[in-house]
């Protein structure tokens, strides 16, 4: 995964006018542990692209939580096949995951401290009542709250930016991911009316 702030930035670039619940949905799929998380992200499927299309067709675009979940899973797919792949080529050590996480944490923290929308958005997301959260099999509302609270503490502890995922690269990824998502969503049942 590209880091929580990058997920929020992509979700925002897709549609900044949606409610905080949409942004909760845009983090929620990470509120579970391995190996279930891999399954939810379709990483264990033979054809991840097809599974994402099936989910897109089953997702009501007026359901902010569900639409946020879809943006998250699409963004991870794009990130895994571009930036994560690039990272794995750069670091082939056994404990690559640790340094990778420190780079994505730095990139996340940099967004948190430099983008004026970031801190108010975290507060707005934490204020959404758990009863409004949509459902994802295997994830309880409290898991999502724990994820958001834990991640906010984490971004506050770290300082970016990351040298491997610097702000310019992250901004390019965010813009490209949002454009790609809007085009892909339009192919699969939902076009934004201009």
Q: What is the DSSP letter of 84?
A: I
Among 1, 32, 147, 155, binds Zn ion (CB under 5 A): 1
**From the CB of 191, what's the least distance to Zn ion, in Å?**
25
For the chain, the straight-line distance linking the first and the last C-alpha, in angstroms and rounded, comes to 31
Instruction: Give per-residue burial for 19-42: e unless 16+ CB within 10 Å, then b.
Output: ebbbbbbbbbbbbbeeeebeebbb
Among 64, 67, 76, 151, binds Zn ion (CB under 5 A): 76
**From the CB of 72, what's the least distance to Zn ion, in Å?**
6
**From the CB of 37, what's the least distance to Zn ion, in Å?**
7
d(CA 52, CA 38): 14
State the residue number with the nearest CB to Zn ion.
1
Task: Please answer whether residues 23 and 144 qualify as being in contact, where contact means their C-beta atoms are separated by less than 8 angstroms.
Answer: no
Of 23-31, 150-158, 165-173, 175-183, the segment contacting Zn ion by CB under 5 A is: 23-31
CA–CA distance from 183 to each of 66, 111, 170, 178, 191 (Å)?
18, 25, 20, 9, 8
**From the CB of 29, what's the least distance to Zn ion, in Å?**
5
Q: Token digits for 68? A: 């946020």
Among 9, 30, 70, 125, binds Zn ion (CB under 5 A): 30
Nearer to Zn ion, 30 or 168 (CB): 30
Nearer to Zn ion, 25 or 29 (CB): 29
Q: How many residues bind Zn ion (CB under 5 A)?
A: 4
Sign of CA dihedral 183, 65, 60, 36: positive
Instruction: Enumerate binding residues for Zn ion (CB under 5 A).
Output: 1, 29-30, 76
């Amino acid at each position: 995964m590209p880091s929580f702030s990058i997920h929020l930035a992509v979700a925002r670039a897709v549609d900044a006018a949606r409610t905080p619940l949409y942004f909760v949905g845009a983090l929620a799929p990470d509120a579970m542990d391995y190996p279930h998380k891999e399954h939810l992200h379709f990483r264990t499927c033979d054809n991840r692209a097809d599974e994402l299309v099936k989910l897109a067709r089953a997702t009501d675009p007026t359901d902010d939580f569900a639409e946020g979940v879809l943006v998250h899973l699409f963004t991870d797919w794009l990130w895994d096949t571009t930036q994560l792949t690039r990272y794995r080529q750069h670091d082939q050590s056994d404990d690559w995951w640790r340094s990778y996480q420190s780079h994505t944490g730095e990139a996340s923290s940099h967004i948190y401290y430099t983008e004026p929308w970031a801190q108010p958005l975290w507060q707005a997301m934490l204020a959404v009542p758990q009863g409004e959260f949509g459902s994802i099999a295997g994830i309880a509302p409290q898991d999502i709250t724990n994820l958001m609270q834990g991640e906010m503490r984490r971004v506050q502890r770290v300082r970016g930016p990351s040298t491997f995922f610097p702000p310019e690269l992250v901004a390019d990824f965010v813009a490209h991911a949002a454009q790609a998502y809007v085009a892909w969503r339009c192919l699969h049942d939902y076009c934004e009316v201009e």
